Homo-oligomer: A and B are copies of this chain.
Amino acid sequence: MHTLRDLLMGPPLPTRDLDTERLNKIRALAAFSPDALSSIAYANQEIYLGLVVAGAAGLVYSWPIALVIVGLLAIVTLSYNQTIPNYPKGGGSYTVAHENLGSTLGLIAAAALLIDYILTAAVSLTAGVAALTSAFPQLWDYRVAVSLVILLVITLANLRGVREAGTVMAIPVYLFLGCYLVMIAYGLYIAGVEGPGDLATTAPSPLVPVTTVLLLHTFASGCTALTGVEAISNGIPAFKPPSTRNAQKTLNVMGVLMGILFAGTIGLTVYLGVVTGTNETILSALARRIFGTGPLYYLIQIATLLILSVAANTSYNGFPRLASVLAHDRYLPNQFVHLGDRLVFSNGIMILALLTGFLIFAFQGDSHALVPLFAVGAFLAFTLSQAGMVAHWLRERGWNWQLKAFINGLGAATTLVALLIIAVNKFRDGAWIVIFLIPLLVVIFRQIKLHYNEVASELTLHGLPPSLKPPPDPRIVIPISGVHRGVINAVLYARSISAQVTAVYVETNPELTEKVRKAWQEWGQDVPLVVIPSPYRSLIGPLLDFLDEMDREHNDGELATVLLPEFVPVRWWHHLLHNQTATLMRLALLYNRRKFGYTRAIIEVPFHLRK
């Protein structure tokens, strides 16, 4: 058990190792940027799919749409640059909105981010597998299985801990960057030599005209290019000190790289007049156009698959951290607070993996179907985070605060406009699911907090006298199925802890009762035996009735304790031959707490079988 676990996840790490687990910039870029960088894969694809229905006349709009999105990217990057030094402990949009705009808007940001992390993982994995099946169409039928296997590998890597995860992830990220930068450079060279391609001859004939709605729809889908930018601001504590400075630098490098990759690929696609068929991505078609179907093409596809796979890793850094922050503020169950024994938030990682796997399965591994759900959460979080920073500057003032407020205000305003465009244009395609889920999650967060607050007020020792008298001996009831050593053992234990012990025999077959009574007279240690008739042969109902009756008669405010004798067999399969009645009784006693709002103390006394 322990060895398999250690092999997969590594041995436990002590708490004092926490600081040495932090990331330098090279590793941090690999850990936090894949989502942002790789989003060119699905953003390109969505822009292409959005415009191709309008033929060549539509596809030429790729370039201006890409430029608007790059502009948006620049604003958002600038905006987050101002957030990082003010919130060095991380928490990103949730923390910023919570502190500056109040708890409700903060929780909305948190809900949006949690949903978005899950969708990031699902969209990235399915888009990565789409890159793979562009190169190897025979894998198309196995896309769900392939996505799930990659998900499993990433989950295990993350359960091992953040440094190893960074190492595993670094290679694909830099491979991807290298490949794409080379491809863009070589593509520009070809473009210079060969001149522009003619979209009018290559593009399929238009099915619909170019309309504002079509362009807005495409812009909304293309905004997925920006998802992932906020990851760094959530993860500042994972950076090596000076962590805020390092985080800012990493954010800026990432923003520039994103812009180059996105504008470069879209620009080349339009300029060279690249189009594609049904089962190939547009990026795959571009790579084929530049490199031909040779080794470099396959390397590009593999690199795309790999970075999209590790893009899911952004979620593995962000989701468990945010869940931990929320749990610490008592908006999520307590178990999300804790670091697991590899210094990672294991519970958050496992919940994320389960939900992502569910999405991949439910949407049959189709990233195009998942995208409409996707950008709403990210842009909602952007807007709230930047609006929160504006409120921050208005309150704090300080050096040059007007400029800072203007930059964050510009960020908030532009992302809000984008958000509204996305929500309206993608509502019927799936955005409604997220728009419905976010308020639901906020209600759940609030209910959880309310409950914990109420429990805390019930548990407070305030008003309790420091010296309390223990209650008298509890009344102990032992259900017996016969008279044997296991039962005698239990009776002796009961007498060692209380003078008020009663044995109960539920009579399902009256022929056996006399034998039990006689044996009890001889061996029963003077403990009284009560026989309860059970004409319907049920063991549990009559016992529960007897206990309630007994409590009523004593009327001392105490509930009788039930002592269950249990066999401890030597081999596990022997359990199938014993203890069913004890297990069922325990469950029935626990079920009472649901039915009547109370339960009683239960004692399980083992009797060890030797064979």
Contact = CB atoms under 8 A, between A and B. Distances in A.
5 contacts: A333-B577, A335-B580, A459-B485, A601-B603, A601-B605
Contacts of A455: 567, 578, 609, 611
Interface in A555-594: 567-568, 570, 572, 574, 576-578, 580, 593-594
A281 B299 CA distance: 57
A568 to B, nearest CB: 5
Given A468-B525, A496-B472, A611-B458, A535 B16 contact: yes
A212 interface: no
Interface in A79-135: none
A15 interface: yes
B341 A577 contact: no
* Interface range for A: 35 or more
Interface stretch (A266-274, A359-367, A446-454): A446-454
Contacts of A598: 568, 606, 608
A375 to B, nearest CB: 31
Interface of A: 12-16, 333-335, 338-341, 448, 451-452, 454-455, 458-461, 464, 466-468, 470-474, 483-486, 488, 492-493, 495-498, 508-509, 519, 522-523, 525, 535-538, 567-568, 570, 572, 574, 576-578, 580, 593-594, 597-606, 608-611
A448 B577 contact: yes
B610 A538 contact: no
Given A451-B577, A597-B570, A608-B597, A486 B459 contact: yes
Given A451-B577, A458-B611, A606-B599, A470 B485 contact: no
Contacts of A606: 593, 598-601
Contacts of A537: 15, 338-341
A497 B495 contact: no
Given A461-B485, A536-B12, A608-B597, A452 B570 contact: no
A239 to B, nearest CB: 23
Given A461-B523, A470-B492, A535-B15, A454 B611 contact: yes
B334 A577 contact: yes
Contact of A333 (B334, B471, B576): B576
A341 B593 CA distance: 24
A156 to B, nearest CB: 19
A452 to B, nearest CB: 7
Given A338-B537, A608-B598, A525 B467 contact: yes
Greatest chain B CB density within 10 A among A483, A498, A568 is at A568
Nearest to A598: B608
Given A333-B577, A452-B577, A523 B464 contact: yes
A90 B32 CA distance: 73
Given A598-B568, A600-B606, A536 B334 contact: no
A379 to B, nearest CB: 31
Contacts of A448: 577
A458 B609 contact: yes
Contacts of A333: 576-577
A538 B341 contact: yes
A367 to B, nearest CB: 31
B458 A14 contact: no
Contact of A602 (B451, B470, B603): B603
Contacts of A472: 496
A15 B492 CA distance: 34
Nearest to A333: B577
A523 B568 contact: no
Nearest to A473: B496
A484 B611 CA distance: 43
Greatest chain B CB density within 10 A among A16, A452, A486, A523 is at A523
Contacts of A578: 455
A577 to B, nearest CB: 5
A600 B496 CA distance: 15
Nearest to A523: B461
A466 B522 contact: yes
Greatest chain B CB density within 10 A among A339, A578, A603 is at A603
B495 A536 contact: no
Contacts of A341: 536-538
A593 B454 CA distance: 38
Contacts of A594: 572
Query: When A and B form their complex, which 6 residue pairs have the shortest distance between CB atoms, in order from nearest?
Result: A459-B484, A497-B497, A470-B495, A14-B535, A12-B536, A470-B496
A455 B12 CA distance: 41
Contacts of A605: 601
Contacts of A570: 597
Nearest to A591: B1
A484 B497 contact: no
Contacts of A483: 461
Contact of A497 (B464, B468, B498): B498
Given A339-B537, A455-B578, 17 more contacts: A12-B536, A14-B536, A15-B509, A338-B508, A338-B537, A340-B537, A341-B537, A451-B611, A455-B609, A459-B484, A461-B483, A471-B493, A471-B496, A474-B497, A568-B599, A593-B606, A597-B608
A142 B493 CA distance: 59
B536 A13 contact: yes
A594 B570 CA distance: 7
Contacts of A485: 458-461, 464
Contacts of A334: 577, 580
Contacts of A13: 536
